[in-house]
Amino acid sequence: HVQLVESGGGSVQAGGSLTLSCTASGYSVSSACMGWFRQAPGKEREGIVSLNRAGVSTYRTDSVKGRFAISRDNANNTVYLQINGLKPEDTAMYYCAARDRETCGATWYALSRWAYWGQGTQVTVS
C-alpha cells in the first residue's frame, strides 16, 4: 500500500520561506518520478516541478523556477519542496505525487500521469 504524506505547510508572511516534505511508505522515492503540484481556491491543480530517478528536475514555468526547488533524501524516503520569496498568489494546497515509472516525460504536469497522491498541505501567504 503506497502512501504519501505531506507536511510543512502553514501561514507565512509574504517574502518568507517554507520547506514542504513528502514522506513515502510502500514506495521508494529514489526509484521513480516524483512531483509537486498545487491547487489554489477556485483553480485547477497545476504542476510545479518534477524530479526523475536520475535527479533531473523540470519546472512547469519560469516564474517558479527561481523560487522553488525540489530535492530528495533517499535515506529518509522523502522529497522536499523549498519555497523562497513567498507571494500571496502562492496560497494553495500543495500536493506531492508519484509516478509508477522512473521517467517523468515531457507532459509530466498532466494529472492523469500520476499514480499516487498525498492528501496535501496548506500554504497561506499574507
Residue 44: pLDDT band (50, 70, 90) is very high
* pLDDT one-digit tens code per residue, 46-65: 999 999 999 999 999 887 88
Tell me what percent of the residues of the chain surpass a pLDDT of 70. Answer: 100
Q: What's the mean per-residue pLDDT of the chain?
A: 95
Work out the burial of residue 30: count CB atoms within 10 Å of its CB; fewer than 13 is exposed, 13-18 middle, 19 or more buried: middle
Whether the CB-CB separation of 67 and 125 falls below 8 Å is answered with no
